[in-house]
Amino acid sequence: MAVAASTRARARAVSDRGEIAAFLRRDRLYAAYALGDLDGPNRSRVAWAIAHDGSGTPTALAMHHEGLVPQPLFLMGDPDGCRAILESVLKPRDAYLQATELHQAAVDDLYELEAPLAMLRMVVGHSTFTPFAGPAQRLTALDIDDLNQLYQLGYRGGFPASIVEDGVYYGVRVRGRLVSAAGTHAINGREEIAIVGNVMTHVDFRGHDFAKMVTSAVTAELLSRVDDVALNVHADNLPAVAAYGRLGYRTHCQLVERLARRRAGGWGLMRPIREAMRIPWQREPK
């Protein structure tokens, strides 16, 4: 079992569901997507690691989806613990980092980071949900071609019918054409949490509250199954933030998403030393 060579934290791989869930529940709304993956259909392709301080107390957790293209890398907890995990346990070459700004210290010398994308984690529960009525209809596997057309996904990149069968999708049709839809990223009844996603309205039909209608319909059905529903929205998408707010969603925290590429060899690990040793004429102008 891998153990990080760090005086600040020790890290190891973890597969015990109870141990993982216990840490994620420390802030279950921040960890909503990870909780969704904990029991999701792709759980066999998810790797987990946990870090402990000198007393053995868990301080950090990380999750990475395995795959050929950059996959989500979720960080939670103390940055030093996350750094220990990334140093020796989870070491993806390319990843799509999902964390907070505080976690940048955990990855700076290990990964080259692209420009951050600020996201808001918004959540709603039974007590705050305000439904918005409209002609949204539940979608089925028979609607998958129309759904993929709305999302402008080609044949090879299209969603399979199983996402509609296993999740919750609602849509609005105008003269038979699917012009707006919303669905789910994950539903975890055991953890009483679900994630809304894939909200889309065709550009020619925006301004009619269709997105609010379909999101409301999906949220209502999810809240009949779980206690909390979460979603991510771009922090600068003020109309969307306002629309979700009118449904009762509230901002829980701000997240940062960015592409991360592992620095090559030992040079990346030595970056702080190299920076400190650079002579004045080698420094970049400010």
- Given this model, what pLDDT does residue 154 score? 59
User: What are the Cα distances from residue 39, in Å, to 13, 115, 158, 178, 268?
Assistant: 18, 31, 24, 31, 35
User: Exposure pattern of 167-184 as b/e (b: 16+ CB <10 Å)?
Assistant: bbbbbbbeeeebbbbbbb
Q: What share of the chain is helix, strand, coil (3-state, %, to 5)?
A: 35, 30, 35
- d(CA 253, CA 267) in angstroms, rounded, equals 34
- 10-118+256-282: CATH topology is Aminopeptidase (3.40.630)
- Given this model, what pLDDT does residue 101 score? 93
What parts of the chain have a pLDDT lower than 50? Answer: 1-6, 266-286
- Given this model, what pLDDT does residue 140 score? 97
In CATH terms, is domain 129-248 a member of 3.40.190.10?
Answer: no
Nearest to 224 by CA among 172, 199, 189, 195: 189
Dihedral of alpha carbons 203, 207, 208, 214, sign: positive
Residue 219 buriedness (CB in 10 A; 0-12 / 13-18 / 19+): buried
Domain with CATH 3.40.630.30 in the chain: 129-248
